[in-house]
């Protein structure tokens, strides 16, 4: 087999949801964010596993993702769309019973005119300046929203992964002020907000990356496991080089395995100098540049030539690779390429 195998541990996914659900305050509903094809791991299988774990409300980025999720889950769960009611979304929102999170006056007018009586949520901007209504805009539209089928009011924390950041308290205060007296469920917290404590939880939490094994939920079990095939092995003499640009030179005789994967599969070239692959518990450092389809790995210290090496798993998670690449775990997860053979375990 010339392609890597990506194993998605649905039992670990469910355990992460259960753990975050337990951290949410009493009488708080825990939803699940499955945007970007379930953070790159396959929205159908991921969402069905989360539904079996107990999730009854899901969040996606756009209506098209909501359509794929409805096909996977069928009726009986609520699907919320962060991007709101965009032009051209009306039929999908109506026919598939999606709940748009309205972000602006234009979206509000589009929704109530096209689908009077259809439920919706509202997203408020409490300082992130990304999506949502600012205070003056919300003040003008709030009476209209309250007269319609408003089911949720939400906002999003900009710095929840930094517990001591003053932005968290500022956004919490702004959200409280903007929603004071509102008799509608409220939501402020994704994974990081859950970990900030009960005052941030309100009526609904909506974990995302923590479900999939990423920071800031350090207790998360790894969900993505990636094993990559060894295509060829060779012995090098001292002074020989590996890969494009001759960026690594052997200081002594060594044995190099060529792995069948590369940056076309989401293994960012920049992570190479700091990253190892694993044979069981034994790290094997990458040598030379990561190329589009191939990676050189030093296996000199192994007792035998391996048939595959592990890049993701219990020894090395998405955040370790992210640190090595100067990015975040979200990018590592969502970049995992389509060439991998995918296998779902448990769930």
Catalytic residues: 35, 244
3-state percent helix, strand, coil for the chain, nearest multiple of 5: 35, 25, 40
Are 209 and 329 in contact, with CB atoms under 8 Å apart? yes
Q: What is the CA radius of gyration of the chain?
A: 23
Write out the two tokens for 103.
């972000």
Q: How many Å apart are CA 198 and CA 97, to the nearest integer? A: 31
Host H or E run for residue 78: strand 78-81
Residue 109's SS3 state is helix
Q: Give the orientation angle of helix 135-147 with respect to helix 166-179, to 10 degrees.
A: 40
First to last CA, the chain: 26
């Amino acid at each position: 087999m010339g392609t890597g195998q990506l194993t998605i541990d649905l039992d670990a996914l469910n355990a992460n949801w259960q753990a975050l659900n337990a951290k949410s305050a009493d009488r708080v509903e825990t939803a699940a964010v499955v945007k970007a094809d379930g953070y790159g791991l396959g929205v159908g299988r991921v969402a069905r596993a989360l539904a079996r774990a107990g999730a009854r409300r899901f969040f996606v980025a756009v209506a098209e993702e909501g359509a794929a999720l409805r096909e996977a889950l069928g009726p009986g769960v609520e699907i919320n769309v962060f991007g709101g009611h965009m032009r051209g979304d009306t039929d999908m929102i109506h026919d598939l019973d999606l709940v748009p999170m309205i972000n602006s006056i234009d979206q509000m007018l589009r929704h109530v005119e096209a689908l009077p009586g259809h439920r919706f949520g509202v997203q408020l901007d409490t300082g992130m300046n990304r999506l949502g209504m600012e205070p003056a805009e919300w003040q003008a539209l709030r009476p209209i929203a309250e007269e319609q089928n408003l089911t949720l009011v939400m906002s999003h924390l900009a710095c929840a992964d930094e517990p001591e950041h003053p932005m968290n308290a500022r956004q919490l205060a702004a959200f409280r002020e903007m929603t004071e007296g509102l008799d509608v469920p409220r939501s402020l917290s994704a994974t990081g907000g859950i970990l900030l404590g009960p005052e941030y939880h309100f009526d609904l939490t909506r974990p995302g990356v923590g479900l999939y094994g990423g920071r800031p939920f350090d207790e998360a079990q790894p969900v993505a496991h990636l094993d990559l095939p060894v295509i060829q092995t060779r012995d090098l003499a001292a002074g020989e080089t590996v890969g494009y640009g001759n960026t690594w030179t052997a200081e002594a005789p060594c044995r190099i395995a060529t792995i069948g994967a590369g940056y076309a599969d989401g293994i960012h070239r920049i992570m190479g100098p700091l990253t190892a692959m694993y044979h069981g518990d034994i790290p094997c450092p990458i040598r030379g540049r990561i190329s589009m389809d191939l990676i050189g790995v030093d296996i000199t210290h192994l007792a035998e030539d391996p048939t595959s090496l592990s890049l993701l798993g219990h020894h090395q998670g998405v955040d370790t690779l992210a640190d090595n690449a100067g990015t975040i775990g979200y990018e590592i997860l969502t970049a995992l390429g389509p060439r991998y053979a995918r296998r779902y375990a448990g769930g």
